[in-house]
Chain A
Amino acid sequence: MPTLRSHILISGDPVSLARGAEAIKGAVESELAYYALTDEVAVALSGNLRLAPEQLPAAVIYPDDVTYGPITLNDVPLIVSEHLYKGRIVDALQITTKPLTGAIVRVPAREGALFAQQRVVLARAGIINPESIEDYVAHDGYAALGHALTRMTPAQVVQEITDAGLQGRGGAGFPVGKKLNLVAKAPGEEKFVLCNADESEPGTFKDRLIIEGDPHSVLEGMLLAGYAIGARVGYIYIRGEYHLARERLEQAIRQARAMGLLGEGIFATDFTFDIHVHSGAGAYICGEESALIESFEGKRGEPRIRPPFPTTVGVWGRPTAVNNVESLANLPPIVKNGASWYRSIGTAKCPGTKVYTMLGDVNVTGLIEVPMGTTLRTVIEVYGGGMKQGKPFKLAQTGGSAGAIIDASFLDVPMDFAELAARGGGLGSGALLIAGPDTCVVDLAHVLLRFFASESCGKCVPCRIGTTRAKEILARLADARATLDDIHQLERIANNMQAAAFCGLGQAAAVPILTGLRFFRNEFVAHAEQHCLAGVCPMRGEPPAAKRRFGRKELATAA
């Protein structure tokens, strides 16, 4: 199949239709046939192009991103011959003259919302209509898939992703290319792509917004992964609470099937692939890939023994590539633009961008996508609009509940998987909890351990009982009923849990305790001496002057 070099979208809103948009589309098609361009240029009636009524009907040509309007039947020969045949923009008919710089053109950021410095995964989110496959296609959607299917072998796709150095964005940072390669080489006729959309890390909601804002990018990533490993079916395991995201995905799948982008013979090749969505039932542990597979198969959500890894024995015993939503959404841009382009973003060890969800004591919270290696200081000052009420930075927790609690010495560390890990921190899933001086580390750790104790699956002893005992000690610390021996026991529990818990979640549950003790041991000791330095903990039930606990909306009243 020949590759399309241009798309021309004719506005298909009621006003344009009333002014003869369909006739214009017919005229474009016959002009294209005259120049023998039918196979190279796609013509479509689009949805609403969001233009002023006096500019309708209009036509948008991609990839040039040039809009003409209002146009009449008489303008069609000129547009086709000049723009599509000769490649010259017809300035006279253009709505706004945009210099063709190659940069991604943005709509102005909404006031008060976060603006993006460099968007790869979220390039279309907030710009296209997520419920329209036409919008996605008009923004180069499925171009990477077409390119891969018609011009690349599966091995080349794997190689491109490997060369790009993409690391898994679920938290562990395992190289995606390596994983796909393992599945591609694993013995077995039947293989699966499994998208991990069970985003259960508290404070992390990037995957939800990626799916809600641009569901087709995830589907395209799964198609590329499926082509790379030789799978015919992909599954999305989505968090049970994500109703809108699930609806968007299901609608996107229906649209893609209707367009022949899912099903048999995609892009007129012999590649066949379909995607199904499965909802989780609200368990933190099911975000762990092997527990996710167990749950997906209808069993109790508990992690599996590894090895064998899911890459050889995954869903129903078949080799399975389990990838996070953000990892998959990175695949289309990598395949389309190439590994060297991807490597130009981010750091040498960790190329690309990272989507963060920022929350806590900053003026602007929400979702941002910045290159790997951006420092915490930049994130807080530029994207977070500074600390709330101008208070000083005290600590951050990176990577969600199981992430490291880091202090101000990390503010200027370029944040990526390698750098943070080398300093005893961790990037994790991309949640950035920023806290000022009104936060008590013991209180924070207590809230976190309450979460872990209630979410531990209970399979292994260190996590099942360890999380509960750690929670109890922290509760006693917060209530001035603990001793220095308790701190010693807390550290012992965390060390042993980290060393020998069955799965990564149990091991990571110790991280906030160990990092909290590492950077803020004085606060723990103060609690054993019946003082809460931040004035947060109740200390024998007496409410402190400025009471403020995590998980509640109450704000510090102190000026």
Chain B
Amino acid sequence: MPINLTINGKPVQAREGQTVLEVCWENHISLPTLCHHPDLTPVGACRLCVVEVEKMRGLIASCTLPATEGMVVRTETPKVVEERKFILEMLLTDHPNDCMTCESNGDCELQNAVYQYQVPWPEHKGARHNYPAGADPNPFVFTDFNKCILCTRCVRACAEIQGRNVWGVAFRGFNDRIVAGADVTMLEAGCESCGACAAYCPTGALTDKPSRGQARSYQMKKVTTTCVYCGVGCQFDLNVRSGRVVKVTSNPKAPVNGMALCVKGRYGYEFIHHPDRLTKPLVKKDGAFVETTWEEALSLIGKKFAQVKKENGADAFATLASAKATNEENYLIQKFTRVVMGTNNVDHCARL
């Protein structure tokens, strides 16, 4: 049963269980958000997505408001805009004014919202937090909680996507702070350095340490690729600047993994430009490996395989396949072993 409601005077339909925010986005009505992410449980903490709803008191956060029949919603009334400006102003009163050097500049949801609502930098005499930036020694995630807006997306991503529950909220009120475990380092709190927290962070509070200072988001070209580390087939975007991969970002449209990646996929890209990396096949000649062509290498392998089969029989041959290869590649390996080599000696490292 579709639910009929009116948003900004326009009749729209919603499905059972949809929130007003989802209905708005589906109907191309833009609403700013900070704490909301479609992958994560809604919390309604930032209040930026507030709307006016007829017959409801005050302003209601649309991310946690289920759409109901006959609802009349207004998303950009003066009252709503004033509230959003107020919220952004409040956030800025406890936020550093350093977009110039901020890693997230150009890719920051807070910056986008402040820009959209043209909130001026508040002249403000009150308290401001001054946490040490980069305090956590994690080799992959850089922390700067001065930029944290306490949206708890990192907390939810770690708990709901990665299942590690590293992050939590400690203290109370203005002194609320995101902490790892019981305020220990990330690694001590059981962090696997998957970087999901940094991927979901809407501001510059959690960023990718190896990429700091390498490039602005708009200076990088995104190239979608499939991870080479294992057979799961995660996809992500290589961020390329001047022909060099400087960063990996999650691709929300990745069919297998969505935003989730492991430490190898997200941060293990340095091998790409490593001088020790093999880029051509090597063949041993006179006791030493020398570079050669694929043609020569493959014909040498074919010759040796045929020789073994002829001299010692097919069962002298066996293949051990890898979990890093895809299912299709593993299928081809066993096909090759059975049909070409004529033996059933097929095994796989993941059988253990």
Q: Contact residues of A with B, CB < 8 Å?
A: 283, 300, 305, 307, 453-469, 472, 476, 492-493, 496, 498-502, 507
A472: chain B residues within 8 A (beta carbon): 125-127
A467 to B169: give the CA distance in the assembly, Å.
19
Is the CB of B91 closer than 8 A to any CB of chain A?
Answer: yes
Our pick among B61, B66, B124, B174 for the contact of A456 (Cβ within 8 Å) is B174
B124: chain A residues within 8 A (beta carbon): 469
Contact status B83-A499, CB under 8 Å: yes
Is the CB of B246 closer than 8 A to any CB of chain A?
Answer: no
Contact status B91-A465, CB under 8 Å: yes
**A458 with B47, Cβ < 8 A, contacts A305-B42, A499-B59, A500-B58 known:** no
B323: chain A residues within 8 A (beta carbon): none
Is the CB of B166 closer than 8 A to any CB of chain A?
Answer: no
A169 to B45: give the CA distance in the assembly, Å.
28
* 5 A-B interface contacts by CB (under 8 A): A458-B169, A459-B45, A469-B90, A469-B124, A496-B86
B47: chain A residues within 8 A (beta carbon): 460-462, 500-502
Of listed A463, A466, A498, A499, residue having the most chain B CB within 10 A: A499
Contact status B173-A468, CB under 8 Å: yes
A460 to B86: give the CA distance in the assembly, Å.
13
B93: chain A residues within 8 A (beta carbon): 465, 469
Contact status A468-B126, CB under 8 Å: yes
Q: How near does chain B come to A13, taking the closest CB pair, in angstroms?
A: 51
Contact status A465-B44, CB under 8 Å: no
Of listed A305, A493, A500, A507, residue having the most chain B CB within 10 A: A500
Contact status A500-B50, CB under 8 Å: yes
Contact status B173-A492, CB under 8 Å: no
Considering the complex, which residues of chain B in the window 164-179 have a beta carbon less than 8 Å from any beta carbon of chain A?
168-169, 171-176
Knowing that A453-B174, A472-B125 touch, tell me 9 more A-B residue pairs with CB under 8 angstroms: A455-B173, A459-B150, A465-B91, A493-B86, A496-B82, A498-B58, A500-B47, A500-B58, A500-B83
A423 to B125: give the CA distance in the assembly, Å.
36
A468 to B171: give the CA distance in the assembly, Å.
15
A163 to B175: give the CA distance in the assembly, Å.
47
B87: chain A residues within 8 A (beta carbon): 461-462, 496, 500
Q: How near does chain A come to B176, taking the closest CB pair, in angstroms?
A: 3
Contact status B59-A464, CB under 8 Å: no
**A455 with B172, Cβ < 8 A, contacts A469-B93, A500-B50 known:** yes
Residues 74-96 of B, flagged 1 when their CB comes within 8 A of A and 0 if not, give: 00000100110011001101100
A105 to B79: give the CA distance in the assembly, Å.
57
A465: chain B residues within 8 A (beta carbon): 90-91, 93-94, 174
Of listed A300, A463, A468, A501, residue having the most chain B CB within 10 A: A468
Contact status A460-B127, CB under 8 Å: no
A340 to B175: give the CA distance in the assembly, Å.
51
**A305 with B64, Cβ < 8 A, contacts A458-B174, A460-B44, A472-B126 known:** yes
Contact status B86-A456, CB under 8 Å: no
Per CB-CB distance, the 10 closest pairs between chain A and chain B, nearest first, are A458-B176, A456-B173, A465-B90, A472-B126, A496-B86, A468-B174, A500-B59, A305-B64, A458-B173, A499-B59
B86: chain A residues within 8 A (beta carbon): 462, 492-493, 496
A462 to B59: give the CA distance in the assembly, Å.
12
Contact status B83-A468, CB under 8 Å: no
**A453 with B173, Cβ < 8 A, contacts A460-B45, A492-B86 known:** yes
In the complex, residue of chain A having the shortest beta-carbon distance to the beta carbon of B90: A465
Q: How near does chain A come to B53, taking the closest CB pair, in angstroms?
A: 12
In the complex, residue of chain B having the shortest beta-carbon distance to the beta carbon of A506: B47
A468 to B82: give the CA distance in the assembly, Å.
19
Is the CB of B46 closer than 8 A to any CB of chain A?
Answer: yes
Residues 42-64 of B, flagged 1 when their CB comes within 8 A of A and 0 if not, give: 11111110100000001101001
A357 to B48: give the CA distance in the assembly, Å.
39
Contact status B127-A457, CB under 8 Å: no
Contact status B83-A464, CB under 8 Å: no
A467 to B176: give the CA distance in the assembly, Å.
13
A380 to B98: give the CA distance in the assembly, Å.
56
A493: chain B residues within 8 A (beta carbon): 86
A458 to B83: give the CA distance in the assembly, Å.
18
Our pick among A307, A458, A461 for the contact of B171 (Cβ within 8 Å) is A458
Contact status B174-A307, CB under 8 Å: no
A466 to B90: give the CA distance in the assembly, Å.
7
Contact status B174-A461, CB under 8 Å: no
Residues 175-211 of B, flagged 1 when their CB comes within 8 A of A and 0 if not, give: 1100000000000000000000000000000000000
A305 to B42: give the CA distance in the assembly, Å.
9
In the complex, residue of chain A having the shortest beta-carbon distance to the beta carbon of B151: A461
In the complex, residue of chain A having the shortest beta-carbon distance to the beta carbon of B176: A458
**A458 with B150, Cβ < 8 A, contacts A305-B64, A464-B173, A500-B87 known:** yes
A307 to B42: give the CA distance in the assembly, Å.
13
Q: How near does chain A come to B168, taking the closest CB pair, in angstroms?
A: 8
Contact status B126-A469, CB under 8 Å: yes
